[in-house]
A and B are shown apart, each in its own frame.
Chain A
Amino acid sequence: METQFAIKVILIVVLVAFAAFLMLPGKGARHLALRRLSMLLLLVVLVVAVIFPSLVTQLANFVGVGRGTDLLLYGLIVVFIGNSLVQQRRHRKTELEITRLARLFAIENAPDAATVFAQPAPSPGSGTGEETDRNTPSVR
């Protein structure tokens, strides 16, 4: 129990940091830079781990995890969650942009709001219905 204290703290801190990242609004340049730097760091760590496997085990023992492979697994999980969060945020941003685009498109293709009901239609549907139908093909 006590031996794994360090890794527990590290994992919890990282996961809480992810949660905070999730709630805070992102800042473009810094965000991108941080993501690229952490990617680079990850690659460097990986190369080192491949060349010196014993280093991983030593590090694992240092933070209180038994084997190097366990540490790698923890790392993998953390990176996976982080990556999911980044993707989710990017997905939301794209969604917002698509929404703006589609809404603008819809309004531009509709008849002019100021005049569409200006003359009262003779019977419900006939006047305005045609107006709408005429515009339908351009929307589709």
Chain B
Amino acid sequence: MEQRTWLVVPLYNEATVVREVIATAKKTFSRIVCVDDGSSDASAAEAAAGGAVVVRHPINLGQGAAIRTGLDYALRDPAADYFVTFDSDGQHRVEDALAMVQRLDSEPLDVVVGSRFLDKRTTLSPIKRLVLRAGVLFERMSSRVELTDAHNGLRALNRHAAESITIEQNRMAHASEIVAEIGRKKLRYAEQPVHILYTDYSRSKGQSVWNSVNILSDLFIK
């Protein structure tokens, strides 16, 4: 099953950590594509050194575009059945990804989405928790997809889901767009409790809550 799974890792200026992230994931998943989104540091070389194949955007397009590129690339492998979107900064755990793929393999599901809020392990600042809660409410109302975590980068998709989900939001709004697409394309989905490793590194690079404003305007203004 691991041989039929591709890890899709959007990559932007993570040279200090990406090699180790890839090397760790590589112990479980042999097929990893890093989509280097026009990094200005050595991210691409580091990812390749970790054992990933690197697809390079000639210019910076944003994480949504990088995920779509990675999916399109992995779909070209006819042996690929499962696709996992995985962050390059080391905040996702490989065992969570594996458990999600196992569910795709054994249950009648198209998508398994990670959630931080199905158990109490993940601790967040109150304001961040509030913003994420608001995001969840908004997504439930606009897409009728019932998820508990609005912006979790860890997702497992089968071939049908990977082919049908459209991502036109280049920047961070793609996460909401993917949820909307799950509803629109009537994909069978489930949530998986995952643990996010908030290291000092990932926190320092983490999203500002101001981004919620940008995400909303990206979604509404055509």
Q: Which residues of A contact B (CB under 8 A)?
A: 22-26, 88-89, 92, 95-96, 98-99, 102-103, 105-107, 109-114, 116-117, 120-121, 124-125, 128-129, 131-133, 136, 139
Contacts and interface: CB of A to CB of B under 8 A. Distances in A.
B200 interface: no
B48 A133 contact: yes
A117 B61 contact: no
- Most chain A CB atoms below 10 A, which of B49, B76, B79, B222: B222
A125 B203 CA distance: 28
- Most chain A CB atoms below 10 A, which of B44, B53, B59, B170: B53
Interface string B44-61: 110011111111111101
A106 B35 CA distance: 9
Contacts of B178: none
Given A23-B222, A113-B73, A124-B23, A103 B48 contact: no
Interface in B12-67: 23, 26, 30-31, 33, 35, 44-45, 48-59, 61, 65
- Most chain B CB atoms below 10 A, which of A102, A113, A133: A113
B69 A88 contact: no
| In the A-B complex, the 3 residue pairs with the closest CB atoms | A124-B51, A113-B76, A113-B77
Contacts, number: 96
The main secondary structure of chain B at its interface with chain A is: mixed
A95 B171 CA distance: 11
Contact of B76 (A22, A112, A124, A129): A112
Contact of B222 (A22, A116, A124): A22
A106 B69 contact: yes
Contacts of B221: 22-23, 88, 92
B49 to A, nearest CB: 5
Contacts of A111: 53
Interface in B66-86: 68-69, 72-80
B220 interface: yes
Contact of A107 (B31, B48, B61, B73): B73
A23 B219 CA distance: 10
Contacts of A26: 222
A111 B75 CA distance: 13
A103 B49 contact: no
Contact of B65 (A99, A109, A124, A129): A99
B31 A117 contact: yes
Contacts of B59: 98, 102
Given A99-B65, A124-B23, A114 B58 contact: no
A25 B77 contact: no
Contacts of B23: 124-125
Given A103-B57, A125-B50, 7 more contacts: A26-B222, A106-B55, A107-B69, A113-B73, A113-B74, A124-B51, A133-B48
B69 A128 contact: no
B168 interface: yes
Contact of B48 (A23, A89, A132): A132
Contacts of A95: 170
A133 B45 CA distance: 8
B22 to A, nearest CB: 8
A81 to B, nearest CB: 14
